Structure 1
Amino acid sequence: MRLSYPLSGDVSIAKWTHLIKETLGIVRAKSIDNCIYEVPKELQKVNEDAYRPHIVSIGPLHEGDHDLQAMDEHKWRYMLHLLQRNPEQEKTLNECSMAIFSLEAKARGSYAKTIKFNTYELAEILLVDGCFIIELLRFSGMHFEDDSDLIFHNDWMIPTLRHDLGLLESQIPFFVLEHLLEICVPHNLELHTTQVSIHKIADLALYFFQVKMSGEASRRI
């Protein structure tokens, strides 16, 4: 980026150096906060299909894409499933909502691109998508027997979701997932687990992607 100088008059070396320092401070602050970037347009042109989600929008960068809206109802259903695991569902939802609103500004600053959605819209995206991801990751390591579920009873869905969740532009900040998991899956919740901790989002994510990498698709918690 190029600095702005007065249209007329000389700029002293001291003033010029001060502008350099200010700009370095801005760059440093952004480099710390920004962690979710867009794929450069020129790179997308090489193979656009490889860099765009196929069935689900995660985060604000592809929110509203007409081709991805068919999954919206499933995201809300998975959020409901996650909340229903708790005996005090309304309390859990209230705690999740308050947590998301407290994190909204920090989450917004995590995106290199300016987010077009207002506070309430972005908070909704973070809440629904975050709960969807957590429940998806947990379902992937459980013996799932709900025949009405579209995702786990279609052989092509999980590989496609792995592709979409791994994309650079299909992300929400990791700290959002950590906060939601801590609220929705309390440590006193008893589940039979043998392969992965249900209380660590990193472990759940690694398991979800390693099933594909290791070929152990039949392994269950």
Structure 2
Amino acid sequence: MELTTKELAKYLDHTNLSPESTEEDIIKTCQEAVEFDTASVCVNSYWIPLVTKELTGSTVNPITVVGFPLGATNTATKVFETNSAIDDGAEEVDMVINIGELIAGHDDNVTEDIRKVAEATHAKGKLLKVILETSYLNDDQIVRGCQASEAAGADYVKTSTGFSSAGAKLADVALMRATVGDRLGVKASGGIHSRKEALEMIEAGASRLGVSATVKILSE
């Protein structure tokens, strides 16, 4: 696959979710995103008001994470986080599923958790991505997680938080794409460090990439 740097940039959610990030670090992340015209800047919700301000006048969206990184917060908390972040300026929300409930086979509970967040997100006209944390899951669980996300009304499924034992894998991305077809987006996140790896993820079926190595990837 061949993409220009400008084309590739619009696949990228320029991500800074480090707990050590300062205001200066977040501003720098925003400046990099605006320079390269990425799809978005993805940060923890505390920083959304600052990011929204810094991205004003650009085509880069502020986005945030919910139930992050473990997914085991209750649904009401995830919905509150979602509403608060959107009110502060978030255009997209990346939520973590209840991973243990998926592994246990309690798919109805997983679906309902996602559905409530999807309803809150869509009520405000925004997009929802659902993080499966594929490093903990087998193929059957990945498929079921995708099916639950689609049934609940999500807009994307996403591989990883970047805080687990492994990030995105090509086989997982391909499986997710095969499961959701062209009905949902697929976001590959975690462990993407080069232009080659980014393009391979897109070829496997990713329509968005979560990366912190944005500058390196787009400067290659």
TM-score normalised by L of structure 2: 0.26
The structure with the largest helix share of the pair is: 1
TM-score normalised by L of structure 1: 0.26
Kindly indicate whether structure 1 or structure 2 has the higher relative contact order, using CA contacts under 8 Å at least 6 residues apart: 1
